[in-house]
C-alpha cells in the first residue's frame, strides 16, 4: 500500500480541471450567514412554499406501494408523455415522448449531460452573463471552454448580436442561455431570441436553453426557444419541476431535444445516473397532472412580492429594473460607492440581511446584488426596512470614509 | 379599478386581514389611496362583512363546545327557507348557517360553553321552531383545519440560508 503523508508526496495530484474549478462565490457568504442569528435571507434560490400536498401525497402513496425500483433510463413514460403534452399545449412544440424527452436529476444534471454530449476538449460555448453559477463549471468539466459575453442593466440584460459575433470562433459549438434569468430576473425578448437563433443557424451552433423559470413570467407569456423558426433541430431545452411546483429537493428535471442529441445524452445518463429517482418522478407526474392550481397561486404570490421588493428597493435608492420573471430582483448598488461584495458583506454584518453579490454571476454582475423574493412578504418588508436604514447610514458616514480594507480583513 | 385588481385585494385580505393598504398597494402596483378607497367601498357595500381572527382556543386553554346541526325544514309559502333560516341564524349561539343540498336542508354551526347548554339550546330553540321537522347534532371533537389554516405546529423554514 502506498504510504500517504501530509505533504502528499506519495499521492498524485487531483484532476487539474477539477482542482482549478473555482469555488462558488456564494460559499463564503453562506458560511457567515449560517453562523448568524436573526438573519433574513434574500439569498435563497428556491421557493419558500412546500411542495403542493397533492404531489407529496401521491409520492407517499407510491412509496407505500413499493414503487421504488429503477425506471427506464429515459424516465417514466407517463411522465414524459405529460411533459410532451404540456410543451405542446403551452408552446406548440411537439417533442416525441419516446425519443426526445429525458428525465434528469434536476436541470443541473441536464446541463452536465448536454455539455458532455456536445463538447470535445477545446470546444467553446458562448455564455451571456450574468448567469447561473453552474453554467461555466459544467462546460469546463466537459473539457469545453466557456466564453462569457457581458450583458448589463443599461440594455435590460439583453444579449447583443454584435457582441456574440465578436466571440464566435471556429471552435464555437454552442450558445447557452437561461431565461427568465437567475440572477437578473430578466426575460429575453422575442426579438433577442430570434437574433440568437439566427446567429446559431448562421454558425451551425447548438442552443442550450435553460427555461426552468418559464412558468414564472409576470408581464406576458414565456417564449420557448425551440418554438422559434429554425431553432428546433439545434436546441436542447432544459426544464424541470423545482421552481414551478416548489419541488427543488425532489431533483426532477428534463431535457428535450431532437433524437440524435437526446440519445447521446441518454447514453451518458445511463452510465452515470441510470435513472432519475423514482419517488421524485412519481411526484413530478402528479405535479404535471394536478399541480396547475398550486402553480398558478404561487406565481400570483411571487408577482405581488416582486412589486413590493422592486418598489421598495427603488424607493431606497437602489435602482432596480422590473424583472420580467423568476423570483429575483437585481438592484444596482453603485450609488453606495461599494462593490457588490462589500455591500453584501456589510449589509449582512450590520443588518443581518443576506443577499448575493452580483459579481459571483460573472460579467455584468458587479455593481448589483441578487435579492430573492422567494420569502414571505412580511419578511420582505422587514428586509427592506433594514436595507433602507443600512443605505441611510452609509450615506451619513460617507463624509468620513472608513477603510473598507480594514473591515474586510476582520472577516476573512 | 380593474376587476382583477379588486378581486386580488379581496384575496389578499381573506388570507390576512391585517395586511395594510400600503402593503397591498405595494403588492399590486397601486396607490395606497386607491386601495383604501376600494376597501372602503367593499365595507360600505357589505362585500367585506367583517374582520375576524382564527384562534386555536384549545391551545389558548379555553374550552368551547361546538356542534354542527343538520336541520330538515318544511319550506314556507312564498319565502321558502329564508324565513326559518334567518329565525334560526339570528341566535348568537349560531355562528354560521347555510342552506345545503342533500338529506337535510339547513346546516348550522353552534357554539356554547357546555354540552348541556348546547343540547338545551338545540332542543328548545331550534327543534321547536315551527317548520323544523328534525335535527341531527354532531359535536365537534377536534379541529384540523379552519379558514384555510392547518391547526398544527408550523414547520420551520428548512432551506439553506443561501443557495445558487
Q: Where are the domains of chain A?
A: 16-50+294-394, 69-291
* Cβ within 8 Å of A, B 21-50: 23, 26-29
Nearest-CA distance A113 → chain B (Å): 20
Assigned CATH for A16-50+294-394: 3.90.1150.10
Cell 434569468 identifies what position?
A181
Q: What's the Cα-to-Cα distance from B27 to each of A155, A174, A326, A382, B21, rounded to whole Å?
A: 26, 40, 16, 15, 10
Contact status of B156 with chain A (Cβ, < 8 Å): no
| CA–CA distance, A341 with A407 (Å, rounded to integer) | 12
| CA–CA distance, A254 with A75 (Å, rounded to integer) | 9
With bands split at pLDDT 50, 70 and 90, how would you rate the model's confidence at A169? very high
The SS3 call for residue A64 is: helix
Q: What is the pLDDT along chain B (164 residues), one digit of tens a residue?
A: 889 999 999 999 999 999 999 999 999 999 999 999 999 999 999 999 999 999 999 999 999 999 999 999 998 777 789 999 999 999 999 999 999 999 999 999 999 999 999 999 999 999 999 999 999 999 999 999 999 999 988 888 889 999 99
With bands split at pLDDT 50, 70 and 90, how would you rate the model's confidence at A244? very high
Q: What whole-number percentage of chain A has pLDDT above 70?
A: 94
Contact status of B164 with chain A (Cβ, < 8 Å): yes
| Contact (CB<8Å) A48/B159 | yes
- Quick count: other Cβ atoms within 10 Å of Cβ A260? 11
| Contact (CB<8Å) B23/A308 | yes
Helices B21-28 and A292-316 sit at what angle, rounded to 10 degrees? 100
Which helix or strand (DSSP H or E) is residue A314 part of? helix A292-316
Q: What's the Cα-to-Cα distance from B87 to each of A23, B80, B92, rounded to whole Å?
A: 72, 13, 11
End-to-end CA distance of chain A: give it in Å, rounded: 39
CB A175 within 8 A of CB A114: no
pLDDT of residue A405: 45
CB A298 within 8 A of CB A246: yes
With bands split at pLDDT 50, 70 and 90, how would you rate the model's confidence at A345? very high
Q: What angle do CA A182, A210, A45 make, to 5 degrees?
A: 30
In degrees rounded to 5, what are phi and psi of residue B80?
60, -130
| Contact (CB<8Å) A132/B164 | yes
| Contact (CB<8Å) A377/B27 | yes
- Domains, chain B, in order of start with CATH, read 3-44 (1.10.10), 65-144 (3.30.70.920)
| Averaged pLDDT for residues A71-100 | 98
Mean pLDDT of the residues in chain A: 94
A1-15, A54-68, A324-338, B85-99: range with lowest mean pLDDT? A1-15
As given in the structure block, the three cell numbers for residue A259 are: 433524437
Q: Is the dihedral of CA A61, A66, A67, A69 positive or negative?
A: positive
pLDDT of residue B79: 75
Closest alpha carbon to A112 in A243, A278, A251, A214: A251
CATH architecture, domain defined by A69-291: 3-Layer(aba) Sandwich (3.40)
| CA–CA distance, A209 with A93 (Å, rounded to integer) | 14
- The tens digit of pLDDT for each residue in A177-199 reads 999 999 999 999 999 999 999 99
Contacts of A41 in chain B (CB under 8 A): 159, 161-162
End-to-end CA distance of chain B: give it in Å, rounded: 39
| Averaged pLDDT for residues A231-257 | 98
With bands split at pLDDT 50, 70 and 90, how would you rate the model's confidence at A239? very high
CB A278 within 8 A of CB A66: no
Contact status of B102 with chain A (Cβ, < 8 Å): no
| Contact (CB<8Å) B27/A308 | yes
How buried is A322 (Cβ within 10 angstroms: 0-12 exposed, 13-18 middle, 19+ buried)? middle
Contact status of B148 with chain A (Cβ, < 8 Å): no
Nearest to A44 among B8, B23, B159 (CB): B159
| Contact (CB<8Å) B162/A381 | no
Buried b (16+ CB within 10 A) or exposed e, A109-134: bbbbbbbbbbbeeebbbbbbbbbbbb
Contact status of A77 with chain B (Cβ, < 8 Å): no
Residue A113 has pLDDT above 90, yes or no: yes
Contacts of B160 in chain A (CB under 8 A): 30, 34, 44
| Contact (CB<8Å) A26/B164 | yes
Q: What's the Cα-to-Cα distance from A406 to each of A25, A402, A403, rounded to whole Å?
A: 21, 8, 6
The SS3 call for residue A287 is: helix
Buried b (16+ CB within 10 A) or exposed e, B86-107: eebeeeebbeebeeeeeebbbb
With bands split at pLDDT 50, 70 and 90, how would you rate the model's confidence at A406? very low
pLDDT of residue A401: 46
Nearest-CA distance B159 → chain A (Å): 8
User: Number of residue pairs across A and B with CB atoms under 8 Å?
Assistant: 59
| Contact (CB<8Å) B26/A356 | no
Contact status of B12 with chain A (Cβ, < 8 Å): yes
Between B156 and A256, name the one with better pLDDT: A256
How is A152-211 classified by DSSP, letter by letter? -GGGTTPPPHHHHHHH--TTEEEEEEESS-TTT-PPPPHHHHHHHHHHHHHHT-EEEEE-
Contact status of B160 with chain A (Cβ, < 8 Å): yes
Closest alpha carbon to A231 in A177, A272, A181, A182: A177
Could you tell me where the DSSP H helices lie in chain B?
3-15, 21-28, 32-44, 82-89, 115-121
Nearest-CA distance A301 → chain B (Å): 9
Q: Is the dihedral of CA B8, B11, B13, B15 positive or negative?
A: negative
| Contact (CB<8Å) A48/B164 | no
| CA–CA distance, B142 with A154 (Å, rounded to integer) | 58
- The tens digit of pLDDT for each residue in A294-339 reads 999 999 999 999 999 999 999 999 999 999 999 999 999 999 999 9
| CA–CA distance, A11 with A3 (Å, rounded to integer) | 8
| Contact (CB<8Å) A304/B28 | yes
Amino acid at each position: 500500500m502506498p504510504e500517504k503523508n501530509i505533504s502528499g508526496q506519495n499521492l498524485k495530484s487531483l484532476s487539474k480541471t477539477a482542482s482549478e474549478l473555482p469555488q462558488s462565490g456564494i460559499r463564503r457568504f453562506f458560511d457567515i450567514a449560517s453562523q448568524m442569528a436573526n438573519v433574513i435571507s434574500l439569498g435563497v434560490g428556491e421557493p419558500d412554499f412546500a411542495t403542493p400536498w397533492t404531489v407529496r401525497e401521491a409520492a407517499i402513496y407510491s412509496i407505500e406501494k413499493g414503487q421504488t425500483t429503477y425506471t427506464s433510463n429515459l424516465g417514466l413514460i407517463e411522465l414524459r408523455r405529460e411533459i410532451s403534452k404540456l410543451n405542446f399545449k403551452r408552446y406548440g412544440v411537439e417533442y416525441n415522448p419516446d425519443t426526445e424527452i429525458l428525465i434528469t436529476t434536476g436541470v443541473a444534471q441536464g446541463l452536465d449531460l448536454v455539455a458532455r454530449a456536445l463538447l470535445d476538449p477545446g470546444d467553446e460555448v458562448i455564455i451571456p452573463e450574468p448567469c447561473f453559477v453552474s453554467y461555466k463549471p459544467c462546460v469546463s468539466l466537459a473539457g469545453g471552454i466557456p466564453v462569457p459575453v457581458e450583458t448589463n442593466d443599461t440594455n435590460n440584460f439583453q444579449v447583443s448580436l454584435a457582441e456574440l459575433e465578436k466571440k464566435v470562433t471556429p471552435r464555437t459549438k454552442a450558445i447557452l442561455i437561461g431565461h427568465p434569468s437567475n440572477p437578473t430576473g430578466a426575460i429575453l425578448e422575442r426579438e433577442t431570441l430570434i437574433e440568437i437563433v439566427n446567429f446559431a443557424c448562421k454558425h451551425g451552433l447548438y442552443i442550450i436553453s435553460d427555461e426552468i423559470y418559464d412558468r414564472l413570467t409576470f408581464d406576458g407569456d414565456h417564449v420557448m426557444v425551440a418554438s422559434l423558426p429554425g431553432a428546433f433541430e439545434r436546441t436542447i431545452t432544459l426544464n424541470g419541476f423545482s421552481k414551478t411546483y416548489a419541488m427543488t429537493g425532489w431533483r426532477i428535471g428534463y431535457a428535450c431535444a431532437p433524437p440524435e442529441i437526446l440519445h447521446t445524452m441518454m447514453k451518458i445518463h445511463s452510465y452515470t445516473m441510470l435513472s432519475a429517482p423514482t419517488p421524485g418522478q412519481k411526484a413530478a407526474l402528479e405535479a404535471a397532472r394536478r399541480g396547475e392550481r398550486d402553480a398558478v397561486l404561487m406565481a400570483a404570490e411571487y408577482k405581488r412580492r416582486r412589486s413590493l421588493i422592486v418598489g421598495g428597493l427603488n424607493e431606497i435608492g437602489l435602482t432596480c429594473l422590473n424583472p420580467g420573471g423568476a423570483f429575483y430582483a437585481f438592484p444596482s448598488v453603485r450609488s453606495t460607492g461599494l462593490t457588490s461584495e462589500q455591500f453584501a458583506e456589510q449589509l449582512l454584518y450590520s443588518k443581518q440581511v443576506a443577499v448575493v453579490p452580483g459579481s459571483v454571476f460573472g460579467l455584468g454582475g458587479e455593481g448589483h446584488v441578487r435579492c430573492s423574493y422567494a420569502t414571505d412578504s412580511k419578511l420582505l418588508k422587514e428586509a427592506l426596512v433594514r436595507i433602507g436604514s443600512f443605505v441611510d447610514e452609509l450615506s451619513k458616514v460617507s463624509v468620513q470614509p472608513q477603510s473598507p480594507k480594514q473591515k474586510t480583513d476582520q472577516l476573512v | 379599478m380593474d376587476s382583477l385588481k379588486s378581486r386580488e385585494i379581496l384575496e389578499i385580505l381573506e388570507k390576512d386581514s391585517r395586511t395594510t393598504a400600503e402593503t397591498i398597494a405595494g403588492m399590486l402596483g397601486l396607490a395606497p389611496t386607491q386601495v383604501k378607497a376600494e376597501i372602503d367601498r367593499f365595507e360600505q357595500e357589505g362585500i367585506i362583512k367583517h374582520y375576524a381572527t382564527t384562534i386555536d382556543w384549545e391551545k389558548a386553554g379555553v374550552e368551547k363546545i361546538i356542534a354542527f346541526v343538520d336541520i330538515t325544514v318544511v319550506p314556507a309559502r312564498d319565502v321558502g327557507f329564508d324565513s326559518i333560516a334567518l329565525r334560526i341564524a339570528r341566535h348568537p349561539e349560531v355562528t354560521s348557517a347555510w342552506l345545503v343540498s342533500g338529506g337535510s336542508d339547513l346546516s348550522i354551526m353552534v357554539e356554547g360553553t357546555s354540552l348541556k347548554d348546547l343540547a338545551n339550546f338545540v332542543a328548545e330553540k331550534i327543534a321547536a321552531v315551527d317548520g323544523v321537522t328534525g335535527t341531527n347534532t354532531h359535536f365537534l371533537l377536534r379541529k384540523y383545519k379552519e379558514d384555510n389554516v392547518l391547526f398544527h405546529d408550523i414547520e420551520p423554514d428548512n432551506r439553506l440560508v443561501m443557495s445558487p
